[in-house]
Amino acid sequence: MGGTETGPAVFAGTVFVLFGGALLLWTASCVRRRTPVAQGVSPVASAVLSSVFGAAFLILGLWCFARI
């Protein structure tokens, strides 16, 4: 990767890792307190779906960092 592409990759990787980590922490906190992750949705389905997306964002962020 060239010098002009490093900045956006670092920014995107940071955003994805922070969002994915925050989503996983939020989900774990809600599950631990037995509160709904999303209003009006099955607690199990919302916890599983948000965990999958949180992990996907973390992996995407790490992929961005690996491309640097």
- Asked if residue 27 belongs to a domain, the reply is yes
- Asked if residue 60 belongs to a domain, the reply is yes
Q: Domain count of the chain?
A: 1
Q: What is the pLDDT along the chain (68 residues), one digit of tens a residue?
A: 556 678 888 999 999 999 999 999 999 999 999 998 999 999 999 999 999 999 999 999 999 999 88
Please choose, from the candidates 44, 48, 53, the residue with its C-alpha nearest in 3D space to the C-alpha of residue 23: 53
User: Which domain range does residue 51 map to?
Assistant: 17-35+43-68
- Asked if residue 31 belongs to a domain, the reply is yes
DSSP string of 42-56?
A: -HHHHHHHHHHHHHH
The structure's pTM equals: 0.85
